[in-house]
């Protein structure tokens, strides 16, 4: 059957030229032509079970590839379901394009199905949002949206595409004439209506496109940047106790993590990695540290903060001693939020670190004594964690479990973090093996990213071990995506820490307020739920079988099955008093 060219083809052609390889979606009549057009051009369509997870999956793809992730959702509730992941992507500074379906342009505001003011809802969660009103504007608007998503401080963009711009002109004409009832009209009324509809259709499908206006990206003076880098290089060479903190933004749109890792190694100062930067230096590096960051920053005489705002994670800029502070960030607002650095460099932090390493030269042994002091604190904390493990506990001690999982992770593993107490325990112990292999929600602290992130990661890294670390509270948000994985041949390994509680909240709530209301759960058989969705489920209640179960899960995943391990946890106070506000 020959199908007339349609608006979905125009959208898909731009996506294909931009190197987009996946579109994540939950189907809807409003957006079907986008999916059909994209599939025809070799773009993989991955349909999920919740619109939120389509956007989370697109977010994961963008973080891991440096190319904007793309999702398409239907009008109304499809768009509102995407709001939380949109905001999560905005705060994580992820370049992402979301298409939202919409009612026909002629019916806008007249009470059509799922017709709401979508732009006002998404505006605060997006870098840019727009509605397309003619077919010739589709391609240029999508191109511009992708450019905006990537430029300056990256972020999500939203393009509303009315249904009558996406389907073939002949079909839309038929809809218009049927809905208007013009064929049943007579006389001058019928003639006037027919002229109006034909004119409207001509405008929609054939009116030449006028370029859309876009935000201006403020240009920076290269000479000023060069002078700042020289100034920082002098400070580095003069420092006796330097420290480097690398945050999420450093990895945004990072197409060459190897050269970035090389620059950090050449700088040679004690380095802490946060967010998506975890894994940049691999599992082991002489300059990489994971613990006691606060104690070291207070003793440092120079702290370089790359792509990391002075927010609650850095004690709002108060977590330093007498150190000189250098900050590199794409966002001018983040450069000065809560604290004014001694040197504020407004550029991509990855480019800054590469340039700084070139300007500074190799560290040699200048900081051996300082690095040894930092390593002593690191080793002491690792030893303390080891002593807190309880391999003989009734059920499974979370520290002991993660110490064993750390030894089992493959070199190509990707770690997805979605939860509170159990996941935060994992973050102390698990070490990502390679760059762009750690996915967590970021500063928004969003529960529910796990299923979507896992789908996106498994699409980007076929054949790699994708591990989803879930709390038993958070897993219920997206466990249904095991159905998606089973249908699309994706095989992540989920680990659910089941303690029948929202433990991170309950621990402090009970102590401070004397009531566990709202924090209790059941020891639900999540492994059985995963089996119902087409995966393989494993129950772990005996610590002596941890290695055996992990090996079985790895084998099942390698054979192409999505796997879920339901780990029944013993009580633990490892993270007592760790609630963040």
Give the pLDDT band of residue 219 (cuts 50, 70, 90): very low
The strand pairing partners of 566, in sequence order, are 496, 539
Quick: pLDDT tens for 305-317: 999 999 888 888 8
Q: Give the Cα separation of 320 and 325 in Å (integer).
A: 9
Vertex 433: Cα angle to 375 and 374 (nearest 5): 10
Quick: pLDDT tens for 524-566: 999 999 999 999 999 999 999 999 999 999 999 999 999 999 9
Question: Average per-residue pLDDT in the chain?
Answer: 91
In sequence order, which residues have a C-beta less than 8 Å from that of residue 373 and are 6 or more positions away?
299
Which segments of 234-301 are extended strands (E)? 242-246, 271-273, 288-289
Percent of the residues in the chain that have a pLDDT greater than 70, as a whole number: 92
Taking residues 329-357, what's their average pLDDT?
Answer: 94
Neighbours of 219 (CB within 10 A): 6
Percent of the residues in the chain that have a pLDDT greater than 90, as a whole number: 75
Tell me the HSE value of 517 on the side-chain side, using a 13 A CA sphere.
4
Give the pLDDT band of residue 578 (cuts 50, 70, 90): low
- Cβ neighbourhood burial of 449 (10 Å; 0-12, 13-18, 19+): buried
Quick: pLDDT tens for 14-43: 999 999 999 999 999 899 999 999 999 999
Taking residues 216-225, what's their average pLDDT?
Answer: 58
Taking residues 40-69, what's their average pLDDT?
Answer: 97
Are 128 and 90 in contact by the 8 Å Cβ rule? The answer is no
The strand pairing partners of 563, in sequence order, are 493, 536
Please give the pLDDT value at position 480: 97
Quick: pLDDT tens for 113-166: 777 889 999 999 999 999 999 999 999 999 999 999 999 999 999 999 998 898
Q: Tokens for 104?
A: 């026909």
Residue 536, SS3 per DSSP: strand
H helices present in 30-104, as ranges: 32-40, 51-65, 77-80, 83-92
Taking residues 266-274, what's their average pLDDT?
Answer: 95
Are 456 and 483 in contact by the 8 Å Cβ rule? The answer is no
Give the pLDDT band of residue 189 (cuts 50, 70, 90): low
Quick: pLDDT tens for 74-118: 999 999 999 999 999 999 999 999 999 998 877 677 677 777 889
In sequence order, which residues have a C-beta less than 8 Å from that of residue 110 and are 6 or more positions away?
none
- pLDDT of 363 higher than 90: no
Please give the pLDDT value at position 575: 63
Are 38 and 45 in contact by the 8 Å Cβ rule? The answer is yes
Q: Give the Cα separation of 226 and 224 in Å (integer).
A: 5
Supply φ then ψ for residue 152, to 5 degrees. Answer: 55, -130
Q: Give the Cα separation of 342 and 479 in Å (integer).
A: 47
- pLDDT of 244 higher than 60: yes
Residue 390, SS3 per DSSP: coil
Give the residue carrying structure tokens 């006002």.
120
- pLDDT of 222 higher than 70: no
The strand pairing partners of 328, in sequence order, are 306, 345
The strand pairing partners of 242, in sequence order, are 302
Quick: pLDDT tens for 436-482: 999 999 988 899 999 999 999 999 999 999 999 999 999 999 999 99
In sequence order, which residues have a C-beta less than 8 Å from that of residue 395 and are 6 or more positions away?
541, 543, 568, 569, 570
Crossing angle of helices 187-206 and 169-180, rounded to 10°: 150
Please give the pLDDT value at position 559: 97
Supply φ then ψ for residue 209, to 5 degrees. Answer: -80, 135
In order of their start, the domains of the chain are: 7-206 (3.40.50.970), 224-371 (3.40.50.1220), 389-568 (3.40.50.970)
Taking residues 191-209, what's their average pLDDT?
Answer: 74
- pLDDT of 65 higher than 90: yes
């Amino acid at each position: 059957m020959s199908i007339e060219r349609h608006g979905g083809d125009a959208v898909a052609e731009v996506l294909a030229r931009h190197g987009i390889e996946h579109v994540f979606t939950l189907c809807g009549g409003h957006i079907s032509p986008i999916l059909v057009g994209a599939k025809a051009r070799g773009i993989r369509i991955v349909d999920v079970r919740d619109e939120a997870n389509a956007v989370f999956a697109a977010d994961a793809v963008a973080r891991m590839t440096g190319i904007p992730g793309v999702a398409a959702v239907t009008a109304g509730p499809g768009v509102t379901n995407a709001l939380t992941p949109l905001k999560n992507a905005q705060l994580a500074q992820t370049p992402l394009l979301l298409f939202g379906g919409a009612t026909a342009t002629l019916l806008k505001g007249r009470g059509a199905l799922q017709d709401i003011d979508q732009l006002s809802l998404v505006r605060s969660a997006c870098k840019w949002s727009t509605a397309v009103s003619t077919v010739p504007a589709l391609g240029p608007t999508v191109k511009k949206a992708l450019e905006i998503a990537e430029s300056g401080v990256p972020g999500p963009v939203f393009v509303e595409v009315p249904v009558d711009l996406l389907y073939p002109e002949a079909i839309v004409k038929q809809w218009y004439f049927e809905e208007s009832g013009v064929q049943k009209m007579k006389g001058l009324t019928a003639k006037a209506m027919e002229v109006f509809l034909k004119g409207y259709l001509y405008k929609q499908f054939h009116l030449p496109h006028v370029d859309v206006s876009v935000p201006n990206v403020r240009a920076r003076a290269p000479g000023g940047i060069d002078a700042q880098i020289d100034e920082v290089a002098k400070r580095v060479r003069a420092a006796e106790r330097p420290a480097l903190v690398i945050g999420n933004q450093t990895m945004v749109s990072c197409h060459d993590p190897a050269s970035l890792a090389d620059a950090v190694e050449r700088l040679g100062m004690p380095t802490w990695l946060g967010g998506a930067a975890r894994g940049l230096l691999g599992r082991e590096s002489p300059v990489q540290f994971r613990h006691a960051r606060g104690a070291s920053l207070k003793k440092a005489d120079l702290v370089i903060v790359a792509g990391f705002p002075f927010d609650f994670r850095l004690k709002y800029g108060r977590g330093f001693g007498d150190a000189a502070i250098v900050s590199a960030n794409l966002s001018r607002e983040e450069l000065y939020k809560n604290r004014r650095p001694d040197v504020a460099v407004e550029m991509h932090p990855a480019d800054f670190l590469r340039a700084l390493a070139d300007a500074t030269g190799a560290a040699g042994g200048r900081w051996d004594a300082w690095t040894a002091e930092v390593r002593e604190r690191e080793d002491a904390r690792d030893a303390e964690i080891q002593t807190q493990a309880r391999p003989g506990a009734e059920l499974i001690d979370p520290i002991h479990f993660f110490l064993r999982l750390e030894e089992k992770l493959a070199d190509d593993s990707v770690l997805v973090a979605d939860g509170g107490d159990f996941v935060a325990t994992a973050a102390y112990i698990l070490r990502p093996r390679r760059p762009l292999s750690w996915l967590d929600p970021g500063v928004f602290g969003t529960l529910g990213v796990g299923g979507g992130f896992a789908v996106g990661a498994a699409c980007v890294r076929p054949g790699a071990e994708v591990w989803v670390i879930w709390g038993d509270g958070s897993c219920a948000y997206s466990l249904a995506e095991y159905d998606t994985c089973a249908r699309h041949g994706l095989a992540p390994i989920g680990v659910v820490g089941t303690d029948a509680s929202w433990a991170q909240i309950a621990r402090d709530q009970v102590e401070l307020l004397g009531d566990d209301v709202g924090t209790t759960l059941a020891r639900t058989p999540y492994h059985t739920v995963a089996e119902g969705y087409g995966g393989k489920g494993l129950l772990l209640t005996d610590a002596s079988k941890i290695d055996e179960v992990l090996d079985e899960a790895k084998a099942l995943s390698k054979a192409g099955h999505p796997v879920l391990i339901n780990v029944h946890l013993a009580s633990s106070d490892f993270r007592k008093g760790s609630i963040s506000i």
